Amino acid sequence: MKHTLYLFLFLVALVTPQRALSQLFESQLPLKYRLWDFVDSCRETIYYEELGMDSYDSIVDDTNNGFLYISGSSGCGCSNAAAAFKTGKGDYILIKSEYWTCQWRAETVASTSLLVEKIFPKDISLQTFSKTPLNFNGKYSPFYLDLEIPRFGTSTKAVLSLVPYGINVKSQSGLCFAYEADEVAIDHYQLSEILILIKSNESLIRIMEDENITSTEREIIQKFQKMNDYPLVEIRRELHELFDIYKLYNQMSHTTLLLKWDKQQARFIITGKEGTIEKLSFFEFLKEKMSFYARL
C-alpha cells in the first residue's frame, strides 16, 4: 500500500507543471510559514547582512490569524501587508500590498496564477468611481488602486490614488493595480521645481496657455530654464498633460470602494462607495496631490 502511494505521488510530480506543483506543496504548509514566505522579498531587503539580523521599523505578526505586516529599510525602504483569504474550496489565497521607496513601486500581489485583477470586483475600471460617463483616451493609467489589507475580518477598502507623474503604466481603463519606475520612466523632478517659483493658479494657467504672460512670469520662466535647460515648449506640453489628468480627477464621484471578500467567487465584491474629491485649483492639485518621479 505504501509503495502504491509513493508511486502515485511520483507520477503526480511527473505530470504536474513546476509552478502548479510548487503551489500544491506550498498550500500544505502552515499559514504562518506561507505568510512569511510571501513577504520574503521585503524581508530580505531589510536584512542587515553585516549584523546578521532583520531590522524592522514596524512588525505586526498575527500570522496565526492570517495577517502579517513588516516595514523597514537597509538602504531601500519597503513595507508589506499580507493576509489570507479563504476560498470556497477550503484553501487560501494570500494577498499583499507592497511599497518600495527607492524603486517608486507599489503593487497588489496575489498568490495565484491568475492575474491580480481577478481578485478585484468584475469589470472594475476608472468608470467605477464616477457617476458620469468618462471619455478616457489615454495610453497610460493616471490612477492606481491602493488596496488596504485588513487585519481583522475580510471587509476592506480600495482607495483611488495618483500614479507619480513620469511613471507610465499601460492601461485601457485608466486604472492600474501596480506601478514601478523602470528604465523608461521619465524624470520630472525639474517640473516640480517650477511650482516653487509660481505663486498662483492664474500664473500657472497663463504660462501653460502662453497668454497674457506678465513680466514677472517671464522672469520665472527664464530663471527656470537657466537652472534646468528645459525647453519652454516641453514645459507647456507636460502642463497640458497634467491638466488632462486634473480634469479626469475632478470627474470622480468617489475616492474609495468598500469591499467584502466573496469566498465562493474567490474575489472581492463592492458593498459601497465613500469619499469625495476635494475641489482644488489646478495649481493646488499639482502642489498637494501630484507627485513627480525623480530618478535616484
At 81, which amino acid appears? A
What is the structure's pLDDT at 296? 62
At 177-229, the pLDDT tens digits run 999 987 767 777 778 888 888 889 999 999 999 888 899 989 888 888 877 77
What is the structure's pLDDT at 26? 52
Residues 167 and 226 occupy one common structural domain: yes
What is the structure's pLDDT at 49? 57
What is the structure's pLDDT at 109? 94
What is the structure's pLDDT at 11? 46
* Cβ neighbours of 176 (radius 10 Å): 22
Residues 148 and 223 occupy one common structural domain: yes
E strand residue ranges, the chain:
47-48, 53-54, 56-62, 67-73, 77-86, 92-100, 105-110, 143-147, 155-162, 175-176, 178-179, 256-262, 267-274
Residues 141 and 87 occupy one common structural domain: no
Residues 107 and 181 occupy one common structural domain: no
Residue 251 φ/ψ region, left for φ over 0, alpha for ψ in the -120 to 50 degree band, beta for the rest: alpha
At 149-159, the pLDDT tens digits run 999 999 999 99
Cα-flanking dihedrals φ and ψ of residue 236, to 5°?
-65, -40
What is the structure's pLDDT at 100? 92
73 lies in which domain range? 1-116
70: which strand partners?
59, 80
Residues 261 and 178 occupy one common structural domain: yes
Residues 110 and 129 occupy one common structural domain: no
Instruction: Tell me how far CA of residue 205 lies from CA of 199, 210, 257, 281, in angstroms.
Output: 11, 8, 33, 10
What is the structure's pLDDT at 226? 78
Question: Which of 116, 148, 176 marks a domain boundary?
Answer: 116
What is the structure's pLDDT at 146? 96
Using alpha carbons only, what angle is made at residue 172 by residues 176 and 116, rounded to the nearest 5 degrees? 40
Q: With a cut of 70, which residues of the chain have pLDDT below it?
A: 1-28, 48-54, 184, 296
What is the structure's pLDDT at 22? 45
Residues 153 and 73 occupy one common structural domain: no
Q: How many Å apart are CA 96 and CA 234, to the nearest integer?
A: 38
Q: What is the dihedral of CA 118, 120, 126, 129, to 10 degrees?
A: 160
What is the structure's pLDDT at 294? 77
What is the structure's pLDDT at 268? 97
Q: How many Å apart are CA 266 and CA 115, to the nearest integer?
A: 13
Diameter over CA atoms, the chain: 92
What is the structure's pLDDT at 210? 86
Residues 208 and 289 occupy one common structural domain: yes
Domain count, the chain: 2
Residues 110 and 163 occupy one common structural domain: no
What is the structure's pLDDT at 160? 96
